[in-house]
Amino acid sequence: MRISLLGAQIDNLNMQATVKRISEMVSSGEVNQVVTLNPEYLYRAQEEGNLLELVNKSELVTPDGTGIVWACKMAGVPVEERVTGIDLMLNLMPVAAKGGWGIFLLGSAPGVAEEAAKNLADKYPGLKIVGIHHGYFMSHEEDEVVRLIKAAKPELLFVALGMPRQEQWIAKYKDEMGVPVSIGVGGSLDVIAG
Ligand code: UDP
């Protein structure tokens, strides 16, 4: 079930159900975009209609932030629980390791994704990290980054370019990349890199 908050449709799924939905997306082989919607994004989206449209075109939208959970409650349409980008990413890791899904990490300063990948591989044995690229590339290098991701054929693509650029980037290239599930994860790679 989707809940409407300030024009954005949010999926009312707890973490477990969200992970399950993403597993189904991976099995489907179709292309999906996941947005973890935080209050900053929703606030900006009130002024920038294209940001709202992007959310509502996404296949899965999670309530990221206590502000969103609180606002849904106040609006009389409570969501089950907060599902943040980093929590979702970490909850997907054991499932990905078990399922043999390929993971691609895109974004953050050079070296950060490598460090994050190392920590994830240590923590989740068997995790298949099929590609890494930092997030400080120029617009004329975008095609090359897209080509890299396409060639790596990941099941999950985590994009840490900051909000809303990461959401716009996924929306622009998702069909070309053909990745089953792409998720914008903000500062998560920095956190995982430690
Ligand atoms: N970032 C990036 N390229 C850029 C700008 C930012 O890769 O051109 C990365 C940045 O290094 C950080 C991540 O995007 O790891 C998220 O940045 P921030 O915390 O500002 O975004 P938010 O969490 O607010 O979406």
For 145-191, the pLDDT digits (tens) are: 999 999 999 999 999 999 999 999 999 999 999 999 999 999 999 99
Which structure tokens are listed for 169?
Answer: 């980037």
pLDDT at 29 over 90: no
From 41, 84, 185, 190, the mutation candidate for ligand 1 (largest count of ligand atoms within 8 A of CB) is 190
Q: Which residues line ligand 1 (CB under 6 A)?
A: 107-109, 135-136, 160-163, 186-187, 189-190
**Nearest C-alpha to atom 18 of ligand 1 is from which residue?**
162
Average pLDDT, whole number, for the chain?
Answer: 97
CATH number of 61's domain = 3.40.50.10700
Q: Report the atom number in ligand 1 closest to the C-alpha of 184.
A: 25
User: Which residues span the domain enclosing 93?
Assistant: 2-24+31-193
Ligand 1 centroid to residue 126 C-alpha, Å: 28
Query: What confidence tier does 1 reach under pLDDT thresholds 50, 70, 90?
Result: confident
From 161, 168, 170, 191, the mutation candidate for ligand 1 (largest count of ligand atoms within 8 A of CB) is 161
Ligand 1 centroid to residue 49 C-alpha, Å: 22
* pLDDT tens profile 141-151: 999 999 999 99
pLDDT at 25 over 90: yes
**Nearest C-alpha to atom 8 of ligand 1 is from which residue?**
136
Is 0.95 topped by the overall pTM? yes
Structurally, how many domains does the chain consist of?
A: 1
In DSSP terms, 132 is beta-bridged to 105
Ligand 1 centroid to residue 186 C-alpha, Å: 6
